[in-house]
Amino acid sequence: MGSSDLAPFISQLQRTPADAVFVGLIGADSVKFLRAWKNFGMEGRMMLLGSDPAFDQAVLRGVGEDAVGLVSVGHFAEGRDNPETRQFSEAFQQRFQKIPSYYAASGYLAADWTARALQANGGKVGEAADFVRVMRSITYQDSVFGPITVDERGQPVYDVYLREVAAGPGGKPWNTVIDTFPDIGATGGLTYDEYLSRPIFSRGFQGLPGQGNDR
- Stated as kind and residue range, the H or E segment containing 156 is strand 156-167
Check whether 81 has a pLDDT greater than 80: yes
* 111 and 30 within one domain: yes
Question: Which pLDDT tens digit goes with each residue over 46-66?
Answer: 888 999 999 999 899 998 988
My answer on whether 112 and 177 are in the same domain is yes
Number of structural domains found in the chain? 2
Q: Are residues 204 and 161 in the same domain?
A: no
Given the DSSP bridges, would you call strands 71-74 and 20-23 parallel, antiparallel or unpaired?
A: unpaired
Beta bridge partners of 49: 22, 71
Question: Residue 1: its pLDDT value, please?
Answer: 58
Taking only the tens place, the pLDDT of each residue in 124-147 is 998 999 999 999 999 999 999 999
Question: CA 207 → CA 5, 32, 189, distances in Å?
Answer: 33, 31, 12
76 part of a folded domain: yes
Clarify whether residues 178 and 200 are in a common domain: no
85: domain range? Answer: 7-184
Residue 19: is its pLDDT beyond 90?
A: no
Nearest CA to 112 out of 134, 77, 87, 138 is that of 138
CA 82/CA 161 separation, integer angstroms: 13
User: Which range (67-71, 115-119, 176-180, 202-206) has the least confidence?
Assistant: 202-206
Task: Report the pLDDT value the prediction gives residue 14, as an integer from 0 to 100.
Answer: 84
Mean pLDDT of the chain: 90
Q: Tell me, what's the pLDDT at 3?
A: 67
Query: Does residue 2 belong to any structural domain of this protein?
Result: no
Residue 171 sits in the same domain as residue 206: no
* CA nearest neighbour of 23 among 15, 13, 14, 90: 13
pLDDT at position 68: 92
Residues 149 and 205 in one domain: no
In a domain, 1, yes or no: no
Residue 7's pLDDT band (cuts 50, 70, 90): confident
71 belongs to a structural domain: yes
- 176 and 197 together in one domain: no
In a domain, 20, yes or no: yes
159-194 residue pLDDT tens: 999 999 999 999 999 999 999 999 999 998 889 999
**Same domain flag for 210 and 105:** no
